[in-house]
Structure 1
Amino acid sequence: MTEITDNERRLPRAVEQFVLRWGDMGGQWGVNRSVAQIHALLYLSERPLTAEEIAETLGIARSNVSNSIRELIGWKLVRRTPVLGDRRDHYEAEADLWQMLIRIAQGRKEREIDPMVEAIGQVLADAEGDPTISRVARTRLNEMHAFVTTIDNWYAQMLTVPPSTLMSLIKLGSKVVNLLGMGRGKPPKPG
């Protein structure tokens, strides 16, 4: 078992800044700052880290690290990794950016889109025989249901597209829309 020295615990400025900024962004995405900072630290780490090393490096409570790691494992963004000669748990982050994106999207879909699709479907079923529902409300509920199920289906389709193809499409940007003749046209000129 190798112990890390005080010099090794100090983060290079760029790494420290990334960890801090990723933590701030995490808060804007609805993720606890500590969870995001631990993810950033593990993502940039050359080797798997123990919870104790994470706590010391980031200056956060060991219990907070444990809870945060549990959440990151639940998102499948961090995994437990064995290290020869050390019985402690070590953790490493998923380094493949596409896998990270897919796992985050899947987690958000399960937490946000799936319940919405189910809830709106149930509301529509309940409204089916109700003569007191206005035509406007019924139309808007149907539109909302069609929209969320389309998003759900699109997500499932995108999972089957190879990452290199997705990256090519992303790089094309609005050129794809213009090629298909579906663009909104040029913005109006200021008067």
Structure 2
Amino acid sequence: MPLAVEQIVLRWGDLGGQWGVNRSVAQIQALLYLSEKPLTAEDIAATLGLARSNVSNSLKELQTWKLIHRVPVLGDRRDHYQAETDLWQMATKVAQGRKAREIDPMVAAINDAVVGVNENDSDISPEVKARLKRMQAFVTTVDDWYQQMLDVPPETLMRLIRMGSKVASLLKFVGVKDRSG
């Protein structure tokens, strides 16, 4: 494996750990992303020095996230794997998976808490009730924004990202007030 690829695979594995992803899973995803041809589980295990069972479990997890897929190779009955190489698709799939596992349950819990709060309940102060409602409004707005962004073409999103703080300046120009302060 070329040194540059090895460094990225190792670093991606470290980052995966920081993001709550198993190091092996992240390393395998990086290796497949940087591979020009599909790899077998045996190829992956040998290249990364991982146990075959670890590779098998990691491949299943990556398939669950839809970050890799099996591809047939003529003349070889073994399973070969290839990574999603479209960076927007990768980011979208990760965001969708994390939202479903982490954000959606939180939104449901906040909604349940707000519904469960009795306006006349003396155990909960008006300030706490107000904070719960603000929290609900915030997560609902962010969730709505996320859903809208799924329909925005990647090229448009990249233009918005490249604009950076210019977007805030544009909003001031059209009369939208900044509420961050």
Determine the structure 2 residue equivalent to 1:54: 44
Determine the structure 2 residue equivalent to 1:180: 171
Please tell me whether residue 95 in structure 1 is matched to residue 96 in structure 2: no
Matched residues in 2 for 1:83 and 1:128: separation? 62
The TM-score normalised by the length of structure 1 is 0.88
Matched residues in 2 for 1:91 and 1:158: separation? 30
Determine the structure 2 residue equivalent to 1:151: 142
Cα distance change, pair 88–183 in 1 and its aligned pair in 2 (3 A): farther
Determine the structure 1 residue equivalent to 2:71: 81
Matched residues in 1 for 2:75 and 2:20: separation? 38
1:148-172 deviation line (CA, Å, top 9, x unaligned): 1111111100000000000000000
Q: Which of residues 159, 169, 172 in structure 2 aligns to 1:168? A: 159
Determine the structure 2 residue equivalent to 1:18: 8
Alpha-carbon RMSD across the aligned residues, in angstroms, is 1.2
Matched residues in 2 for 1:87 and 1:128: separation? 62
Determine the structure 1 residue equivalent to 2:124: 133
Contiguous gaps of at least 5 residues in structure 2? none
Alignment check: 8 A CA contact 1:98 1:163 kept = yes
Matched residues in 2 for 1:49 and 1:178: separation? 48
The SS at the match of 2:79 is strand
The SS at the match of 2:123 is coil
Alignment check: 8 A CA contact 1:177 1:183 kept = no
The SS at the match of 1:46 is coil
Cα distance change, pair 146–48 in 1 and its aligned pair in 2 (3 A): same
User: In the TM superposition, what are the counterparts of 1:98-109 in structure 2 within 5 Å?
Assistant: 98-109=88-99
Alignment check: 8 A CA contact 1:35 1:68 kept = yes
1:183 Cα offset (Å) = 8.1
Percent of pairs with identical residues? 67
Matched residues in 1 for 2:118 and 2:34: separation? 53
1:15-40 deviation line (CA, Å, top 9, x unaligned): 00010000011111110110000000
Contiguous gaps of at least 5 residues in structure 1? 1-10, 185-191
